[in-house]
Amino acid sequence: MKYHLDTIPVWDAYHEDSECPLCILEDKAEKSYVESFLGGSVMEPDTRIEVNDKGFCPHHNKLLYKAQNRLGLALMTHTHTLETIKKMKKEIEKVENALKNPDKTPRSLLKKLSGEGSADNAVKEYASWLSNHCSSCIICDRINYSINRYAYTIIHLWEHDQEFRKAMNQSRGFCLAHLPAVLNMAAERLSKTKQA
């Protein structure tokens, strides 16, 4: 068995004999990302730009708050809020324009009948934008990326390492939340016979 930097966490998760190795890996990744966002990355321009754009979901915002670096979180939250206000003003202007200036040309009437271009549609688009904005989270995105990398590593090890295949067969499998990531990666990386 060859250990590589990217396979060690997967092997460690399998050695913990849990219900789902990806749950262990996700938990460790989440803790690592929360710590990193409250460390030196608070002042890194690239990180701040990304945080200003995406922000944090309520769950990760609570974890950041509980981590006791409230000044770092306050700095990130302040600039994210200012950026969000700018974006909201632009989106609200679109809705106001749609409500104030309804187009009454025959083409616009056809669009209105089909549900396109109407004031109601502008309000729905704004609601959709708000929903997407509130659900975006830089930590969630990074965790999802990590889970996909781990799923790739699991499939790679299963395909090339007999000892890992034994460990996987003796494990309890995956939880329902993480099983789709592994199945999707298997479908993407393995031949049909290996998928079976």
User: Which tens digits make up the pLDDT trace of 19-58?
Assistant: 999 999 999 999 999 999 888 777 888 888 999 999 999 9
pLDDT, residue 1, reads: 47
> Are 112 and 66 within 8 A, CB to CB?
no
Q: For 120-130, what is the mean pLDDT?
A: 85
CA angle 183, 188, 190 (to 5 degrees): 85
Read off the pLDDT of residues 79-120 as tens digits, 9 standing for 90 and up: 999 999 999 999 888 888 877 776 555 555 555 555 555 667
DSSP code for 88: H
pTM for the full predicted model: 0.80
Read off the pLDDT of residues 181-190 as tens digits, 9 standing for 90 and up: 999 999 999 9
